[in-house]
Amino acid sequence: MAMERTISIVKPDAVGKNVIGKIYSRFEDAGLKIIAAKMKHLSQKEAEGFYAVHKERPFFKDLVSFMTSGPVMIQVLEGESAVAKNREIMGATNPKEAAAGTIRADFAQSIDENAVHGSDSVENAAIEIAYFFSATEICPRTR
Ligand code: RTP
Ligand code: MG
């Protein structure tokens, strides 16, 4: 299996519920390492740019409004098959369909406010990492 990096975002609903640490524990328990992190209150432009692939979708306006409704916690996760592993830990987009024990099953309430984002491919992970982090902000583990 390949070592990969992926972007994870704890969305405004989960930050508001004060469960950043509980969500971080899920990553650590799965063997994913946090190698960069920042808290940020996204501007409308930043949220629109991040979700540009969805700009023609009917939920785009609500998504941008939600993602700018409070601070988010953004991290780069590194590990074996990190992209798929993070998606597995997150659970389905709609928390009502998310498997028991996943982040969305435990911390999300609706498809619109679903606690976390995770990159959906290695290619998009690289784009999303570059969107939020400069090279010097990424801190690979030395021990
Ligand atoms: P994310 O990008 O946030 O990790 O979520 P995802 O891959 O599981 O879902 P995606 O299809 O990329 O959609 C991005 C976010 O848009 C909202 N959404 N709403 N109302 C709807 O039908 C709908 N579909 C998607 C969700 O908040 C989703 O996380
Ligand atoms: Mg997505």
Please give the ipTM for the structure prediction.
0.93
CATH 3.50.50.60 holds for 3-137: no
Has this prediction a pTM greater than 0.95?
A: yes
| pLDDT above 90: residue 1 | no
Q: Quote the CA–CA distance of 95 and 108 in Å, as a whole number.
A: 6
pLDDT at 20: 98
CA of 143 to the centre of ligand 1 (A): 35
6 annotated ligand-binding residue: no
The answer to whether 59 and 112 have CB atoms below 8 angstroms apart is: yes
CA of 141 to the centre of ligand 1 (A): 31
Ligand nearest the Cα of residue 118 is: 1
Active-site position among 117, 125, 129, 132: 117
What percent of the chain shows pLDDT beyond 70? 99
Mean pLDDT of all residues belonging to the chain: 97
- The tokens describing 123, both together, are 């290619």
Q: Quote the CA–CA distance of 7 and 78 in Å, as a whole number.
A: 9
Residue identified by tokens 């328990």 is 29
117 is a catalytic site residue: yes
- Taking only the tens place, the pLDDT of each residue in 102-111 is 999 999 999 9
Q: Annotate 35-72 with b (16+ C-beta within 10 A) or e (fewer).
A: bbbeeeebeeebbbebbeeeeeeeebeebbebbbbebb
pLDDT at 2: 87
- Taking only the tens place, the pLDDT of each residue in 53-103 is 999 999 999 999 999 999 999 999 999 999 999 999 999 999 999 999 999
- The tokens describing 105, both together, are 């099953």
Amino acid at 69: S
Report CA-CA distances (Å) from 110 to 89, 105, 122, 142. 17, 10, 26, 39
- The tokens describing 79, both together, are 């590990």
Q: Residue ranges per domain, the chain?
A: 3-137
11 annotated ligand-binding residue: yes
For the Cβ of 120 lying below 6 angstroms from any atom of ligand 1, the answer is: yes
124 annotated ligand-binding residue: no
CA of 1 to the centre of ligand 2 (A): 23
